Structure 1
Amino acid sequence: MTADDAGAETDAGAASDDAAAATDGSVAASDDLGGTSEVADVLPRPADTLAEAVEAALAGRSAVVAVGVPIRLLPAVLAARERSSGPPWRIACRPGVVDALSRALVLGTAVAEAVENDEIRVRTGEPLGHGTGGTLFASPDRVDAVVGPRGDRTLAATAVDTDSAAADTDPKAVDGARTTAEARYDAASPATVEMPSRTRLLADAREVLDDRFADDLEALLASLEPGEFGRTTEVPDRTLLVALAARHDHLFRDLRTWVGTDGVGIAPAQEFTGDRQALVDRELIESIKVPMGPGRPMLRLRAVDDALLRARAEEVPSVLRGRFALPTDADGRIREDASREGRRPVWERRRW
């Protein structure tokens, strides 16, 4: 494989590939290698053989330079980096990827953690080439490129020496492709992940709220897949955090102090009001007015739903999804018929 081979196909090839994807029902119209989607639109992606191949190929390698990395492959890169050592990996993500991380609690905090620990350095740049593929992973001894038609991407490897996992052995091609990757990374724009690292997120939670809340949050983040409970999911990350705070009777003000732009910066504090009301309307929590001296009373969050109170931290998402799936009336409250049906013993419920 030459340095040019490591790139993608021509514009004409891309156009014909897109046309085939749009007309052939057996091929997905998008394989989520673009850079403009929200994380929740792409992940989680079950049984992703390409991501599995990327993680296996990169694990244990050093001095990796990657260009054209899409949202879909970012978790695999992080997982491989955790199994590797050496200097920080240089990652040039596709346009839109780093911005999307600011609205993805699980993946965004994981990437921010890796950046803070100097395990990776993130930039934003165009993919390599203009057709299919466009993603390249290069290290001193091996290069892996995403190749193949849309809907059937694979990883093609070329090594300096004999490598059982590489189809080709071509030292000059590896050197040329790595030079290309480094040049593309250097030309990419520095990018900041607008999410706190996991370490900062939890440390500030312990300081502003308490250890119980932080322990719940730590267990929860460890159990969630990238893409779950993002800013654009049906039950967003803000709602999840309000529910966690209500399990420990925290003041709404303290939660917003911790999470707002003057705190860890997950989202503006004022945006959490709607999420609090949604939980109240669905009879999961209540807001109790607490006199706190002159001025408006504070609101204390309190969980009132037994399932929410008794659930382990990693079970809270299931409780929220179940309640938010119930039909609501025009005011956003659970319809009485749905609420009653949910509380009746299972043997008395109607079946149809």
Structure 2
Amino acid sequence: MTDDATTDSDSASDDFGDGSEVSDVLPRPDDPLAEAVETALSGRSEVVAVGVSTRLLPAVLAARERSSGPAWRVACRPGVVDALSRALVLGTAAAEAVETGAVRVRTGEPHGHGTGGTLFASPDRADAVVGPRGDRTLATTSPDSKPADGARAAAAARFAAATTEPVGMPSRRRLLAAAREVLDDRFANDVAAVLASLAPGEFGRTAELSDRTLLVSLAARHDHLFRDLRTWVGTDGVGIAPAQEFTRDRRALVERELIESIKVPMGPGRPMLRLRAVDDALLRARPEEVPSVLEGRFALPTDADGRLRHDAGRDGRRPVWERRRW
């Protein structure tokens, strides 16, 4: 066996954070183990992976995009697939890979041999995560060796014993198709650009600034009805999150003077709310710049009621009726 990766830090050990939220584990900048896994798997065929953690799943998916052949069989550690249902970026990417037949995802226990518990095997090669916690590395068998054959058989048996578990996020193509149907092309294009630009663990559900906040702000850039946004997220086959959970995020954006909610009478019953961006930075930003705009505004201090402190806002912000769309 030969080492293919440098050791990683204790805070980035392979089994750290297994089963927790994706945003708690990712992103991990300059992660040598993940980089080694992506490099080792790229271009290979008929890969069977077991013991895949949240940390290494993005590397596996990235490598699969640069490979061909039958679906890769990927058995994740317990809790990883469940966490994808609350991770818009990584969850939709994983669902896309499953829907297109690129991977088959299951949940199972880590590989029983080796301290890392993670094994990647293909017909002529096997790679295992080895080493003590906080000092993981990737070790590789020589091509066409008996250990490689045995490792592949063990990985296949472990995958066969794993449990099939659906990814609780829509694929990106279904997500965007529903956005175009329920809302419009401009909004769908914004969502596509933002998803393509974000790292896998950004805008998770555990932080105040979540994926729901991001989606509400994108809808406000195009003056959509709040009802239509919630219809989209509740569309059969989309189901990003319960529609009622978006109310808190809408209020947070209003309190930070990024958007406004305008009551629009539309027949009998309660008036509808139209979302409208009132901040120039949010309006003028390219879609991939919107996350930075939100992060900057949410970093500013607020009063006890959650509203942006008057001395924290930008001076001279133009009123909404003077704004100009670009």
User: TM-score of the superposition, structure 1-length normalised?
Assistant: 0.85
Residue aligning to 1:96? 79
Matched, 1:172 2:155: no
From 129, 133, 150, the equivalent of 1:150 is: 133
Matched, 1:121 2:104: yes
Q: How much does 1:262 deviate?
A: 4.3
From 153, 172, 178, the equivalent of 1:204 is: 178
Aligned to 2:29, what secondary structure does the other structure show? Answer: coil
- After superposition, where does 1:33-112 map in structure 2 within 5 Å? 33-34=15-16, 35-112=18-95
From 273, 276, 285, the equivalent of 1:302 is: 276
Matched, 1:292 2:266: yes
Q: How much does 1:49 deviate?
A: 0.8
Residue aligning to 1:348? none
From 311, 315, 325, the equivalent of 2:285 is: 311
AA paired with 2:96? E
CA contact (8 A) 2:302 2:308 kept: yes
Aligned to 1:270, what secondary structure does the other structure show? Answer: helix
From 10, 31, 51, the equivalent of 2:13 is: 31
Q: How much does 1:332 deviate?
A: 0.7
AA paired with 2:15? L
In the comparison of the two structures, how many residue pairs are matched?
310
CA contact (8 A) 2:114 2:130 kept: no
RMSD of equivalent CA atoms: 1.7
Residue aligning to 1:136? 119
User: TM-score of the superposition, structure 2-length normalised?
Assistant: 0.92
From 244, 264, 269, the equivalent of 1:270 is: 244
Q: How much does 1:175 deviate?
A: 1.2
Runs of 5+ unmatched residues, structure 2: 2-7, 318-326
CA distance in 1, matches of 2:297, 2:242: 25
CA distance in 2, matches of 1:94, 1:179: 19
From 212, 216, 229, the equivalent of 1:242 is: 216
AA paired with 1:204? A
CA distance in 1, matches of 2:165, 2:229: 28
CA distance in 1, matches of 2:152, 2:80: 22
Residue aligning to 2:159? 185
CA contact (8 A) 1:261 1:269 kept: no
Residue aligning to 1:335? 309
Aligned to 2:10, what secondary structure does the other structure show? Answer: coil
Q: Deviations over 1:45-91 (max 9, x none)?
A: 11111111111111111110000000111111011100100000000
Runs of 5+ unmatched residues, structure 1: 2-25, 162-170, 346-352
Aligned to 2:266, what secondary structure does the other structure show? Answer: coil
CA contact (8 A) 1:253 1:299 kept: yes
More displaced 10-residue stretch of structure 1: 263-272 or 196-205:
263-272
Structure 1 residues 111, 263: CA separation in 2 closer, same or farther (over 3 Å shift)?
Answer: closer
CA distance in 1, matches of 2:312, 2:113: 51
CA distance in 2, matches of 1:32, 1:142: 21
Q: Deviations over 1:179-201 (max 9, x none)?
A: 11011101011010000000000
